[in-house]
Amino acid sequence: MSGTSFQDLIGVLRQTLAGLPDRRTGKNCSYAMEDFGLSAFAVFFTQSPSFLAHQQAMQKARGVNNAQSVFGIQEIPSDNQVRGMLDPVPPQSLYPVYDQIYDALRQAGILAMFRGVHDSTLIALDGTWYHASYKIHCPCCSTLKSASGQTLYYHSALTPVVVAPGRAEVITLRPEFITPQDGHTKQDCEIAAAKRWLEQHTARYLEGTVTLLGDDLYAHQPFCRRALMHGFHFLFTCKPDSHTSLYRWVDLLQSPDRRTFKARVKAGSQWHTYTYAYANRVPLAEGEDALRVNWCELTVTDRKGHTLYHNAWVTDWPLTDANVPAVVASGRARWKIENENNNTLKTKGYHLEHNFGHGKKHLAAFLVTMNLLAFLFHTALGFTDAHYRLVRAALHSRRTFFEHVNALTHYLHFPSWRGLLRFMMRGLEIGPYAKAH
């Protein structure tokens, strides 16, 4: 992959989709496999569920359509055909596209901008639901029993991302699906999925120094030991209610074993007080074989002493007065996986929890992998495409951007993605089309 232009990205996706298994026999092969995959992707990239229908209508009326000129779809299949052909395809089939984008961002120096404590890459781990229903279900669904006895069927996945303090963007990595595992009687869970993710992806993502971020769920001995065994550092949220033994130990410590210091930090027009506390080599749990970790805490107060923020973490990084602020800043970056990733995917245009198609085998997981990939495409373009960056900045929100793209591609035909962006820049009077003042 020579770069990360839109055409580069679509080219990589097309090549991957062309290699998907095709189980059709006989003469019913008028649509290529890449057309099924690209048709689904176009819906997620434009975030327009009716994109294909609009392009079919445009083709019928005018003999041209944006599905072909922008996304390279030769023949537009129906929604039901797309779902039927993609249902048997495992979501892992799309992982090579994630990998090539990740490698291209690394080669372009983009990943070097995502650094945290001790110049390490920060990978945040978190699970999220993307389907829930009392009626629609498949063999890959997890289940919950309600108090009334009803069974809730749901799908969830671990969605790791690269984050960094001070950066709004996140870089999407290969997901890991939380789904019934062959040979296991217990339901799958987020921690089990995280362990599988470490087993399968350490060789790919452990380049240089990497620190894993996670909420309190991860701050327990088995997973911390697993992270260390694979060569990762860790920095996990640590709550008193779930770590009573550790906090009893911390509360007994006195200076110099437990250090406290303060800093004044400007926040807009206000000054806030940051109070840091930390202790090294405290036991994470009870017992002689307890893992020794390093604990730190931050409390932010305003000038009247009101608490604005409070949180604590455990890590394997040794702590000092000099590095605790950087450790805490990295720990606080974990929220980006919830806000900039999961919340964006659910509420800012990507409709992650919308049922685009459930299927009987892999469809739900395949489509959410495609949706995450569309999000990664937009992230990559935000770094590498100056025209895209100008348009996004002018339109401010993702939702507004998608609304404009949907309206324009509904009514007008464009020769390419770049042609669409140039039309938008001309209308917005930005970039080379900005009026002189």
Separation between Cα atoms, residue 81 and residue 199, nearest integer Å? 35
Does residue 89 have a pLDDT over 90?
yes
The pLDDT mean for the chain works out to 90
Does residue 1 have a pLDDT over 50?
no
Does residue 344 have a pLDDT over 60?
no
pLDDT at 2: 46
Separation between Cα atoms, residue 40 and residue 338, nearest integer Å? 25
Report which residue type is found at 107. Q
| Confidence at 3, pLDDT banded by 50, 70, 90 | low
Record the tokens describing residue 161, joined without a space. 């991302």
Peptide bond before 256: cis, by omega within 30 degrees of 0? yes
**CA nearest 350: which of 203, 170, 164, 167?**
170
Does residue 16 have a pLDDT over 70?
yes
Separation between Cα atoms, residue 224 and residue 337, nearest integer Å? 19
Per-residue pLDDT, averaged over 310-335, amounts to 96
Record the tokens describing residue 169, joined without a space. 């963007």
Sign of CA dihedral 410, 413, 414, 420: negative
Lowest mean pLDDT of 68-77, 125-134, 353-362, name the range: 353-362
Record the tokens describing residue 158, joined without a space. 């671990």
Separation between Cα atoms, residue 38 and residue 3, nearest integer Å? 20
Per-residue pLDDT, averaged over 352-380, amounts to 84
Q: Where are the domains of the chain?
A: 6-91+356-433, 229-324
pLDDT at 358: 78
Percent of the chain with pLDDT over 90: 73
- Report the chain's C-alpha Rg in angstroms: 24
Does residue 288 have a pLDDT over 80?
yes
Does residue 59 have a pLDDT over 90?
yes
Does residue 376 have a pLDDT over 70?
yes
| Confidence at 172, pLDDT banded by 50, 70, 90 | very high
SS3 296: strand
